[in-house]
Amino acid sequence: MEVLYLGSIVKDDKGEEYSLVKFLNNGGFGCVFLAERISDKMCFAVKTFLPVFKDSKCVDAFRNEIAMSADISGKNIIRYEYVHNGDTFKELPLYIIMEYADNGTLRDILDERKKLNKLFSLDELINIYKQLISGMEIINSKLVHRDVKPENILICGKILKITDFGLAKISAENTRTMTFKGGGTPLYMAPEAWDYSKNTIQMDIYSMGIIFYELATLHYPYALNSSNSNDEYRSCHLYSPVTNPQIYNSNLNPSFVSIINRMLEKKPKKRFEKWSDISEALEKFINSEQMANEYSELVNTLVSSKNIQNIEKQRQESIRIKKETEQTEFVKLIKSQIVNEIILPLQEFIEDVNLKYSGDDKFAYTPLGENAGKKCSLIWRLLSSNNNILQIRAEAIFKEDYTDVYEKGIMTRTIINNPKYKNNDVIACCEITNSIGNGFNLILVQNDDLYGNWYIMDNHNNFSFATSDKERREPFAFSINELPKEINLVQITHLYRADFLPFETKAFLERIQLLIINI
């Protein structure tokens, strides 16, 4: 495939030739040149595939833009003069000839306004919003853009034109959002796009909502730290509430703000269903402004109050969703550690015993059982022919379950009593017992890496303090319910004591062997 450079000549289907006279920028998976049509010196932009993107998925993305662009046209959509899919002119690569936006992008305008700290007037905002709504309504009638951002909104004279359909998907398709790397721009990706949800118009409405917010305030709707990482952007879109736009622009009418806020709802079903709904809401606002009466100030105050309440609801909902998500991920981590470090080696051990034993009194074990709920209660049973059972119970430990809040007058004191070993949090524990009550415990202790370290707990009576009713038959295991409390107690003067040994598979299986023999 030939590469285009300055001075290269491309052609269209009418026999016209275009000379590439200036490099403009990189865009999506291609680079963009300023081109002159040789016959009349009229300027166009030529976008061509960049050879550095050799991944077939990137090629597919560029071909996708070529295919999509042919079906989309409108006043507020960039006009594609000719698209070359590589078949007509075999000596030339993939390229698109499009109208030239002589006044840059919406990003350029936003950056200039931010630099001058010059807010857009209400009339300017309404004009811009109407153009963008008009363009998106046409686009979304056929496809989901998936990469709506200021850089993809070009300015031709005074007309805004949306471009770059490289990531677009047909709106009726039940496809996933990211079918290849680079499935959107993190600053503008809707919450559901991060979770590979189905393509919907609401994705584009959310992305445009961020642009509407930036135009109205000259600020991004979420507070960002300096990392500018994908993880930070994902967290903002999924969990952070938007900052009240009136903090940045006190002149914004509350009714106007409510339109932007609804576009930025976390849940797609809470956003506007279609662009005509946004257009209708905007028209209602314009009409209400023109028909202001003696009650308008009261109405605005009440609407402003509802906007603040909605943002607070979003904040509370975001906290809840974030907590649930963190707990879910935490439970997955704990479960993987229990399965990989404990259950799988034990299964291999038992299967090896059964393989080498020729009698019919073989061991049977049940698959890993799981009780629903955040505790991640996992149960594994080993059964002998005489119905004696070795049982393993495991649970994740959540620090918040051991947090106590004490109030005295206006003073509030929070004390966390979660189980620890050597000042490190215990994040999971296991109870391993046989039918006659013998057993031992395992604990998973958090450390600097993601997964933590397992320890074996050999428990003993402390005969200096033991009484006959408190003594336990050794070796014994603390139950899964009492273990979190006992972990802290056995490290100080107490009825019982424990030896904490770094987990080794052989030492673990030796203890399992003794428990099996005892039953």
pLDDT in tens, the chain (519 residues): 568 889 999 999 999 999 999 998 875 556 889 999 999 999 999 988 765 545 555 566 666 666 666 678 899 999 888 888 778 898 888 888 989 988 999 999 999 999 999 999 999 999 999 999 999 999 998 888 888 999 999 999 899 999 887 565 655 443 333 333 345 789 999 999 887 767 889 999 999 999 999 999 999 999 887 767 888 898 899 888 899 999 999 999 999 999 999 999 998 999 999 999 999 999 999 988 877 666 778 888 888 899 889 888 888 888 888 888 888 888 888 888 888 899 889 989 999 988 998 888 888 887 655 554 455 667 888 876 566 788 999 989 988 888 766 666 666 676 778 899 999 999 999 999 998 899 999 999 998 777 789 999 999 998 777 677 788 999 999 999 999 999 999 998 889 999 999 999 999 999 999 998 876
Q: What is the pLDDT of residues 336-375, one digit of tens each?
A: 888 889 988 998 999 998 899 888 888 888 765 555 445 5
Q: Are residues 116 and 227 both part of a single domain? A: yes
- Which residues lie closer than 8 Å to 491 by C-beta, 6 or more apart? 421, 498
pLDDT at 66: 65
| Buried b / exposed e along 101-121 (16+ C-beta atoms within 10 A) | beeebbbebbeebeeeeebbe
Farthest-apart Cα atoms in the chain, separation: 106
Q: Are residues 92 and 108 both part of a single domain? A: no
Residue 337 maps to a domain: no
Domain boundary among 255, 274, 292: 292
Q: Are residues 203 and 90 both part of a single domain? A: no
Q: Are residues 502 and 479 both part of a single domain? A: yes
Q: Which residues pair with 36 in a beta bridge?
A: 19, 43
Q: Are residues 416 and 270 both part of a single domain? A: no
pLDDT at 235: 87
CATH number of the domain encompassing residue 150: 1.10.510.10
Give the chain's domain count.
3
Residue 36 maps to a domain: yes
Q: Are residues 40 and 166 both part of a single domain? A: no
pTM of the full structure: 0.71
Residue 329 maps to a domain: no
Residue 194 maps to a domain: yes
CA distance 318 to 458: 43
Contact criterion met (CB below 8 Å) for 265 and 271 = yes
Cis peptide before 254 (omega within 30 of 0): no
Residue 299 maps to a domain: no
Contact criterion met (CB below 8 Å) for 393 and 480 = yes
Q: Are residues 37 and 177 both part of a single domain? A: no
Domain boundary among 100, 134, 168: 100
Q: Are residues 108 and 70 both part of a single domain? A: no
Q: What is the pLDDT of residues 321-340, one digit of tens each?
A: 888 888 888 888 888 888 88
Contact criterion met (CB below 8 Å) for 97 and 79 = no
Q: Are residues 273 and 346 both part of a single domain? A: no
CA trace torsion 55, 56, 60, 66 (10° rounding) = 70
Contact criterion met (CB below 8 Å) for 311 and 318 = no
pLDDT at 369: 58
Q: What is the mean pLDDT of the chain?
A: 85
pLDDT at 181: 36
Q: What is the pLDDT of residues 10-51, one digit of tens each?
A: 999 999 999 999 998 875 556 889 999 999 999 999 988 765
pLDDT at 297: 81
pLDDT at 109: 95
Q: Are residues 83 and 115 both part of a single domain? A: no
pLDDT at 385: 57
Domain boundary among 100, 123, 144: 100
Q: Are residues 58 and 165 both part of a single domain? A: no
CATH number of the domain encompassing residue 9: 3.30.200.20
Residue 335 maps to a domain: no
Residue 302 maps to a domain: no
Q: Are residues 124 and 251 both part of a single domain? A: yes
pLDDT at 401: 83
Q: How far is CA 394 from CA 76, 372, 376, 500, in A?
A: 59, 13, 8, 18
Provide DSSP, 190-213. Answer: -GGGGGTPBP-HHHHHHHHHHHHH
The range of the structural domain enclosing residue 211 comes to: 104-292
At 121, is the secondary structure helix, strand, or coil?
coil
Residue 207 maps to a domain: yes
